[in-house]
């Protein structure tokens, strides 16, 4: 395993991009196509590194190595913070108040403290919401994942679904009193074919002058997609999404429903699929006006795609500029510039950013930072992770903090080995100021772990690709486990693992050696199944090969990125593009440093078809 020290993040050498491309063209997926018009318009965004490293102050490299605070907590405070690092619940909260004389730090023990502690409104909180959802592997598009409930609760839910099924069969398009969110999805799932009842409901929804629940339009549109490429079902699905869009426009209050977002997104994609960019751009425009959401980057990408197809050069460049600003490292941004990044030159800059240890003004953030400093000084990594939980759960808490303060917080996540918080913090920094996208910060964002072990186990896939997958699956945390039962570095389901090795058990899968051996073997089998198509293999690793086979039949097309964006599950849709993004940056950052795998990388090139816009 290769391990990088904090200082080595800062001063590693790299080949020039042109040299790398001439030596390893297949490995790096270099594009010979130059988009001079993009490069020209982006000159205004050329990084000014004096903004992040000029002046006096502590540097990132120093803060990564040690706690820079001079705070020496007294014994009483140490006892308080040790107590505060315990589990949050009402009992511990009351006990803390009584034992430590109503100390404000006791608030960290109050249930849901992270939702109430920061009382200030964040001006640009929405800027980070999309990535929080985009990077959340557990989220599935429009599926309501209910928490475990009592038998009585389950009985009520089952009864509600049955009632919705009966209403569908009767053509009733209104909610009944006890209907819950998600009941439409669960009810429609029980229909194993497109019955006459569903057809009658679709016709009624399209022709009805009043607007039904947008949730119903969205779910029924998705149900019709299950029967693509049938042309009639395509027309039905688009008509339902169009009706949802029209109904949302009639509402007096701004529509922020995720069902409206989903309907507009899918209508836009299906319009592109049917060669109607005029409708697509109008719909994506309305989607963009809904504010930052799960589809923001994609909506901008496809709007730019249509502008380029229509030879609207200025409109295309303006939209690309928006996309770059919103998601400079993102997969869709890379695809728009034919599989390369305008920030690649930043890797050659020996920049050591200056950090800020306190937020400006009177703010609860500073008390929070002080508590994290003290816990870090005490070596209480569990307490540090607990206080960083707002970053993992709701990154919008970072919205009002200067990038230098966020970088300071990232150093505590780094030392506490809290990869999830570290990645969230750095992403929020990159999105607000691309000058921070440099060698030192990117090596924090894309750590190189388990590389030697991966290189020894691969036989048909690129080691960087497996590293990119592990980063997305578990953030390199050996003890990671999901709510559906997946465990370890490569998030293997025990049942799937036993198909590959009958001797393995769940406990063994938490060990890197066993997890990597079985996970790589399984992924390589998927690559073989899909005849070397990495994107389909990744989708299959996440959703299962049978689901990918269904989607291939459902959306037959040559435009690979359109196919990927049409995948109905956001988890899988995001999974493939995020790993593609990860792979790109790993291959660039470590192309010269990782000499132990260069030979393997040349032998096993990776081709993300969806990164090459000129081939679509």
Residues forming beta bridges with residue 487, ordered by sequence position = 481, 492
Least confident of 86-95, 263-272, 338-347, 578-587: 338-347
- Is the pLDDT score of 6 beyond 80? no
**Judging by beta carbons within 10 Å of its beta carbon (0-12, 13-18, 19+), is residue 529 exposed, middle or buried?**
middle
Give the pLDDT band (50/70/90) at residue 54: confident
Pick the CATH number of 151-293 from 1.10.10, 1.25.40, 3.30.1360, 1.10.3470: 1.25.40
Question: 151 or 307: whose pLDDT is higher?
Answer: 307
Determine the number of helices (DSSP H) and then strands (DSSP E) in the chain: 34, 0
The HSE-up count of residue 43 (CA atoms within 13 Å, CB side) is 5
Residue 481 phi, psi dihedral angles, 5° rounding: -150, 140
The token duo for 449 is: 């772990």
The token duo for 244 is: 């949802």
> What local confidence, expressed as pLDDT, does residue 447 receive?
95
From 134, 373, 435, 473, active-site residue? 473
Rounded to an integer, what distance in angstroms lies between the CA atom of residue 424 and that of residue 450?
Answer: 22
The token duo for 574 is: 């995001």
Residue with tokens 């890797």: 347
Residue ranges matching CATH 1.10.530.10 in the chain: 451-615
Question: 379 or 10: whose pLDDT is higher?
Answer: 379
- Is the pLDDT score of 248 beyond 90? yes
**76 within 8 A of 70, measured Cβ to Cβ:** no
Which residues lie below 8 Å from residue 160, measured CB to CB, with a gap of 6+? 178, 179, 180, 183
Rounded to an integer, what distance in angstroms lies between the CA atom of residue 312 and that of residue 333?
Answer: 18
Reduced to 3 states, what is the DSSP secondary structure of residue 290? coil
Give the pLDDT band (50/70/90) at residue 4: very low
> What local confidence, expressed as pLDDT, does residue 24 receive?
33
> What local confidence, expressed as pLDDT, does residue 615 receive?
38
pLDDT in tens, 424-475: 999 999 988 889 999 999 999 999 999 989 999 999 899 999 999 999 999 9
Q: Which uninterrupted H or E stretch holds 96?
A: helix 90-99
pLDDT in tens, 251-300: 755 556 899 999 999 999 999 999 999 999 999 999 999 988 889 999 99
CA 150 and chain centroid, separation: 32
> What local confidence, expressed as pLDDT, does residue 579 receive?
97
CB atoms < 10 A from the CB of 178, how many? 11
> What local confidence, expressed as pLDDT, does residue 32 receive?
38
CA 61 and chain centroid, separation: 27
> What local confidence, expressed as pLDDT, does residue 133 receive?
40
Question: 157 or 525: whose pLDDT is higher?
Answer: 525
CA 495 and chain centroid, separation: 26
**589 within 8 A of 347, measured Cβ to Cβ:** yes
- Is the pLDDT score of 18 beyond 80? no
**359 within 8 A of 402, measured Cβ to Cβ:** yes
Give the pLDDT band (50/70/90) at residue 26: very low
Q: Which CATH architecture describes the domain 451-615? A: Orthogonal Bundle (1.10)
Give the pLDDT band (50/70/90) at residue 96: very high
Least confident of 32-46, 293-307, 593-607: 32-46
Known catalytic membership, residue 473? yes
- Is the pLDDT score of 362 beyond 90? no
Rounded to an integer, what distance in angstroms lies between the CA atom of residue 580 and that of residue 204?
Answer: 42
The token duo for 503 is: 């001797």
Residue ranges matching CATH 1.25.40 in the chain: 151-293
In angstroms, the first-to-last Cα distance of the chain is: 39
Reduced to 3 states, what is the DSSP secondary structure of residue 14? coil
Residue with tokens 């109430």: 116
Q: What angle do CA 537, 594, 490 make, to 5 degrees?
A: 35
Rounded to an integer, what distance in angstroms lies between the CA atom of residue 94 and that of residue 321?
Answer: 52
- Is the pLDDT score of 178 beyond 90? no
The token duo for 270 is: 């299906």
pLDDT in tens, 197-221: 999 999 999 998 889 999 999 999 9
Residue range 594-606: mean pLDDT, rounded: 64
Reference 298, options 288, 290, 308; nearest CA is: 288
Give the pLDDT band (50/70/90) at residue 176: confident
> What local confidence, expressed as pLDDT, does residue 79 receive?
94
> What percentage of residues in the chain have a pLDDT greater than 70?
83
Give the pLDDT band (50/70/90) at residue 311: very high
pLDDT in tens, 158-167: 678 999 999 9
Question: 613 or 288: whose pLDDT is higher?
Answer: 288
Mean pLDDT score of the chain: 85
């Amino acid at each position: 395993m290769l391990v990088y020290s904090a200082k080595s993040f800062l001063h590693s050498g790299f080949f020039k991009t042109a040299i790398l491309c001439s030596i390893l063209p297949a490995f790096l997926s270099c594009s010979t196509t130059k988009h001079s018009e993009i490069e020209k318009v982006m000159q205004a965004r050329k990084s000014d590194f004096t903004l992040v490293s000029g002046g006096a102050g502590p540097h990132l490299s120093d803060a990564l190595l040690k706690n820079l605070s001079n705070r020496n907590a007294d014994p009483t405070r140490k006892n308080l913070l040790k107590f505060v690092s315990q589990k949050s619940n009402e009992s511990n909260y009351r006990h803390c108040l009584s034992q430590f004389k109503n100390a404000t730090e006791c608030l960290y023990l109050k249930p849901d403290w992270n939702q109430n502690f920061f009382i200030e409104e964040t001006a640009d909180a929405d800027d980070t919401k999309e990535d929080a959802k985009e990077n959340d592997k557990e989220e599935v598009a429009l599926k309501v994942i209910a928490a475990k409930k009592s038998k009585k609760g389950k009985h009520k839910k089952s009864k509600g679904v049955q009632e919705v099924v009966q209403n569908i069969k009767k053509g009733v398009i209104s909610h009944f009193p006890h209907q819950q969110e998600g009941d439409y999805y669960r009810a429609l799932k029980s229909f194993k074919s497109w019955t006459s009842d569903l057809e009658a409901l679709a016709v009624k929804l399209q022709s009805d002058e009043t607007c039904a629940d947008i949730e119903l339009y969205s779910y029924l549109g998705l149900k019709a997609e299950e029967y693509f490429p049938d042309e009639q079902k395509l027309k039905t699905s688009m008509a339902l999404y169009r009706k949802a869009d029209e109904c949302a426009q009639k509402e007096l209050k701004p529509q922020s429903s995720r069902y409206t977002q989903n309907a507009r997104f899918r209508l836009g994609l299906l319009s592109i699929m049917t060669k109607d960019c005029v409708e697509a751009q109008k719909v994506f425009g309305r989607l963009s006006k809904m504010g930052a959401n799960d589809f923001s980057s994609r909506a901008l990408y496809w709007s730019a795609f249509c502008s380029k197809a229509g030879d609207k050069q200025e409109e295309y460049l303006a939209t690309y500029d928006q996309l770059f600003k919103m998601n400079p490292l993102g997969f869709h941004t890379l695809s728009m510039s034919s599989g390369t990044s305008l920030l690649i030159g930043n890797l050659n800059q020996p920049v050591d950013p200056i950090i800020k240890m306190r937020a400006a003004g009177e703010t609860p953030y500073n008390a929070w930072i002080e508590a994290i400093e003290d816990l870090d000084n005490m070596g209480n990594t569990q307490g540090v992770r607990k206080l960083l939980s707002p970053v993992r759960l709701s990154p919008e808490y970072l919205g009002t903090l200067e990038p230098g303060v966020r970088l300071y917080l990232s150093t505590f996540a780094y030392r506490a080995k809290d990869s999830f918080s570290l990645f969230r913090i750095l992403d929020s920094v990159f999105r607000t100021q691309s000058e921070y996208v440099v060698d030192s910060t990117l090596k924090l964002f894309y750590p190189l772990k388990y590389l030697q072990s991966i290189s020894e186990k691969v036989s048909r896939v690129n080691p960087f690709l497996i590293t990119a997958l592990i980063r997305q699956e578990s953030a390199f945390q050996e003890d990671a486990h999901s709510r559906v039962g997946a465990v370890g570095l490569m998030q293997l389901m025990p049942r799937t693992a036993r198909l590959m090795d009958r001797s393995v058990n769940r406990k063994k899968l938490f060990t890197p050696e066993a997890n990597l051996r079985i996970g790589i073997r399984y992924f390589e089998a998927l690559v073989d199944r899909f005849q070397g198509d990495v994107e389909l293999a990744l989708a299959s690793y996440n959703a299962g090969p049978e689901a990918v086979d269904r989607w291939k039949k459902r959306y037959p097309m040559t435009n690979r990125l359109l196919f990927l964006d049409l995948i109905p599950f956001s988890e899988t849709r995001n999974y493939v593009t995020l790993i593609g993004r990860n792979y790109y940056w790993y291959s660039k950052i470590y192309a010269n440093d990782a000499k132990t795998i260069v030979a393997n990388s040349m032998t096993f090139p990776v081709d993300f078809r969806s990164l090459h816009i000129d081939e679509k």
